[in-house]
Amino acid sequence: MNTKINIVLYEPEIVGNVGSIMQTCVAINAKLHLIEPLGLFLDDRFIIRSSANYFEFLQYESYADWNSFLSKNPHANLFFSTIYGQNCMATLFWTLFM
Q: What is the domain-level CATH number for residue 39?
A: 3.40.1280.10
Cα distance between the two ends of the chain: 22
Examine residue 88 and state whether it is found in any structural domain, yes or no. yes
**Are the beta carbons of 31 and 60 closer than 8 angstroms?**
yes
Q: Structurally, how many domains does the chain consist of?
A: 1
Closest by CA to 9, choosing from 90, 89, 63, is: 63
Q: Which domain holds residue 69?
A: 6-97
Provide the pLDDT for residue 37.
Answer: 87
Examine residue 21 and state whether it is found in any structural domain, yes or no. yes
Q: What is the largest CA-CA distance in the chain?
A: 41
Selected residue with higher pLDDT from 82 and 31: 31
* Mean pLDDT of the residues in the chain: 80
Selected residue with higher pLDDT from 32 and 48: 32
Examine residue 22 and state whether it is found in any structural domain, yes or no. yes
**Are the beta carbons of 5 and 28 closer than 8 angstroms?**
yes
Residue 44: its H or E element: helix 44-51
Provide the pLDDT for residue 1.
Answer: 45
Examine residue 40 and state whether it is found in any structural domain, yes or no. yes
Each residue of 56-93: pLDDT tens digit? Answer: 888 989 899 999 999 999 988 887 777 777 777 777 66
**Are the beta carbons of 53 and 27 closer than 8 angstroms?**
no
Q: For a pLDDT cut of 70, what percent of the chain falls above it?
A: 74
Examine residue 61 and state whether it is found in any structural domain, yes or no. yes
Find out whether the peptide bond into 74 is cis, omega within 30 degrees of 0. Answer: no
**Are the beta carbons of 58 and 26 closer than 8 angstroms?**
yes
Provide the pLDDT for residue 14.
Answer: 80
Examine residue 1 and state whether it is found in any structural domain, yes or no. no
